[in-house]
Structure formats: structure tokens, C-alpha cells
Structure 1
Amino acid sequence: MAGNMKWNLVTGLIGFAGTLALSMPQNILKTAFIQSLYSFIFLFLITFLARWLLGLIAQSAHTPESAAEAVSRELEREEEVRGTRIDLATPEDDSPVLPQAETDTGFTPLNPPKLSTDFGEHRTEDAVKALRQMTDK
């Protein structure tokens, strides 16, 4: 973090005093004091957050690392570790697939009869009779 906790306290106390001075003429002492306390807490936390962010920025500025440096460092680590680990992953099978001899298993695919939409004369007459009976009442 940039700086120390004095910055948080100073900022909070300035906010406390300013809020107390500005709210005393319009409010009673208790209300002015509570508002000043809220101002102190808010400014203390905002200053803390700002210092923390500045610390992160300063820390990242001190250690610039390019992508090439990161890759070369990772490769060096891999070379140091090579031969000390066991890889239990199974590699891909690169061998050619051999054709299997076809054996007669007795399986024949199902061949269902095809459905047709032709109802024929008999079914059409039955449908007409049923329609007439429903409409006659």
C-alpha cells in the first residue's frame, strides 16, 4: 500500500471536522455528530481503497514482465522438471484401423410395412354415415 494509516486518519478527521462544522447550524448536536461520524467512516474507507489500488499499480509497475519472458521462464521450469514426473495420460492411438472380417450374426434390420393414406371405399362410406348421424340430431 502507498503510505501508511496516517493518511486514512487525516482524511477521515478532515471530513469529520468539515461535516460537523457545516451541519451544526442546521441540526442538533447529536444529529450533526452522527453525520460527521458517517463522513469519517466513509472517507476513511475510500482513502484506504485508493491507497490499496495505488499500491497494486505501483507493485505491477516495479515488475514489468513481457509475454516472451514469461514463456521462456515457463520453458525453463519444464526442462528442470522433465524426467521427474509421471504422465499417466494415455496418448492418442495413431495406428491405422484394420478392417474387421464380417461375420454373420443372424441380425436382420426390421422392415416394417409402409403406411398408406388411402382409406378405400369402405372407410369413406363409414365416415360419411357417421357425419350424417351427428348432424341429424
Structure 2
Amino acid sequence: MIGTIRWNIIFGAVGFVVTFLASSSNNVWTTSLIRGIIALCIWFALGFALRFIAGLLQQPQQDKGSDHEMADKGQTVDMTTPDESDMLHDLLRTKPSEEKHADREDDNGNAFQPLNPPKLVTNPQMDAEQLAQAVRHLTQK
């Protein structure tokens, strides 16, 4: 942590004064005093948090490796793409007839067959008397 507890007291006092003045115009002085004391405690704790963060920011970074290794990191990009020129040439050499034949068979050698779903059939209309009895039966339960 950086600084002394005096900074926390200053933060707390500022929080107390601001809250007490803002609260005194709308509340009884005892309520304003209680709210000011609560603000003093909160701002006092915020002072600790700010001192802690300031201390972390001022500490020098700990080097895990040597300075030489750290200096080289992030300076170059070593990326290569695999050589796919043979595959591209094979794709360009295939004839359309071979391509169509290849598309019609899957990996297992099965020929393509379109999906034939069953046709939807509507049921014949029920008699009005049967529907009325069904509704009466359901309302009685």
C-alpha cells in the first residue's frame, strides 16, 4: 500500500461532509448525521482500496525470465500455411462427369436417394354429436 492512514481519514472526512450537506437539506439532523457516519465508513474503506491499487501500479513488474528472452518475445510472427497445391491441382483436373459421379455416392459407396416422407392425410370430419359428447365429458371432470 502506498501512503498512510491519513489518506483514508481524508477520504472519510470528504465523504462525511458531502453526504451530510446533501442529506441535511431534506432530513432531520440526526438522520443526516447517521448517513454521514455511514458514508465516512464507506469512503474510509474506499481509501484502503485506492491505496492498494496505487501500490500495485507503482510496483515494478517481476521478470520471470531473463531480459534477453523477454526482449525477443512479440517481435516476430512465425506463421506458415501448409502446402495444398497438390490438392488444388487435383480439384482443377477433375472432369465434370467424375465430379457428378462422386457427388452421388457418400463415403460408404451408397448412392444418393432423395427422402420420401409419407404424405399427410386428413381424417374424415367427426360427427357434430360426437364432438358435443366429448366436450360434455371433458367439462364434467
Q: Which TM-score bucket, shorter chain as reference?
A: 0.3 to 0.5
Length-normalised TM-score, structure 1: 0.45
Relative to the length of structure 2, the TM-score reads 0.44
- Name the larger-Rg structure: 1
